[in-house]
Amino acid sequence: MARNIQSLERAAAVLRLLAGGERRLGLSDIATALGLAKGTAHGILRTLQQEGFVEQDPASGRYQLGAELLRLGNSYLDVHELRARALVWTDDLARASGESAYLGVLHQQGVLIVHHVFRPDDSRQVLEVGAMQPLHSTALGKVLAAYDPVAHSELVESERGSFTVHTVTGLGRIETTLDLIRARGYATDIEETWEGVASVAAPIHDRRRMPVGAVGVTGAVERVCKESEPLPGLIASVRDCARAVSRDLGASRF
């Protein structure tokens, strides 16, 4: 049997000590109760504090449990909350880019479209909220697979269909692409899912830097790309939008 890690055991003991009711304890109380040197206890508390599991009362200097513990048990972000937060930013993205904007989250083995803003040209368009898209070929799907390990394992295990001559289905090439996406911060889909259609997408993170979704634009390849690369201005708009939504999620959760 593997040896337990002593510092983790001690951290758990500190949390147990602080748990229950409105308990606030000073450093020496904690050190004494656990039989630790003050310096050791302080190191543990400081680390827990950085992670948000412990908070220090500025006035008394005493410690108490942090809000992050509450979040642990209740950490998933409701997709409708995500849509509500993203609304103004995705409207602006559609306006700035002149293309339709989509917000997607991982659902089972694909991307669930949770929000869709029409292309701002008065043409007839149908709301695609609730539709599913593949993980391996779409920009939204690739972003999710690049940043969210759960999405990645779904992609690996899923059946990867070929939709156009450009669809990449081999795992080796997909992994190379995912590395590139992580390095660049955005993903593309140039006629890999639909003939004549290209998209760009970027990741949305919550306040703990956990990937919670992807946002992107989709349009005719002739408008979205130049020399088989998406227009730099379009990429910037998508990334700006993703950052704005992420900031909104970080600023206001709890």
Rounded CA separation 24/31 (Å): 14
Compute CA distances 72 → 18, 68, 169, whole Å: 17, 6, 36
> Between residues 34 and 87, which has the closer beta carbon with respect to other proteins?
87
User: How many CB atoms are closer than 10 A to CB 150?
Assistant: 11
Strands, E, within the chain: which ranges? 54-56, 63-65, 100-107, 110-117, 132-134, 187-190, 197-205, 211-220, 225-226, 229-230
> Between residues 84 and 220, which has the closer beta carbon with respect to other proteins?
84
Q: How far is the CB of 202 from other proteins (least distance, A)?
A: 13
Q: How far is the CB of 83 from other proteins (least distance, A)?
A: 6
Q: How far is the CB of 88 from other proteins (least distance, A)?
A: 6
| Main-chain dihedrals φ then ψ at residue 26, nearest 5 degrees | -80, 165
Q: Is residue 187 classed exposed, middle or buried when 0-12, 13-18 and 19+ CB atoms within 10 A define those classes?
A: buried
Q: How far is the CB of 7 from other proteins (least distance, A)?
A: 34
What is the three-class DSSP state of 55?
A: strand
> Between residues 14 and 245, which has the closer beta carbon with respect to other proteins?
245
Q: How far is the CB of 197 from other proteins (least distance, A)?
A: 20
Applying CB under 8 A, the residues found at the interface with other proteins are 74, 78-81, 83-84, 87-88, 91-92, 94-96, 115-118, 120, 122, 125, 127, 129, 233, 236-237, 240, 244, 247-248, 251
Longest dimension (CA), the chain: 72
> Between residues 168 and 236, which has the closer beta carbon with respect to other proteins?
236
Strands, E, within 29-182: which ranges? 54-56, 63-65, 100-107, 110-117, 132-134
> Between residues 190 and 249, which has the closer beta carbon with respect to other proteins?
249
> Between residues 50 and 74, which has the closer beta carbon with respect to other proteins?
74
Q: Which residues of 226-253 are buried (b: 16+ CB within 10 A; e: fewer)?
A: eeeebeeebbebbbebbbbbbebbeeee
Q: How far is the CB of 194 from other proteins (least distance, A)?
A: 21
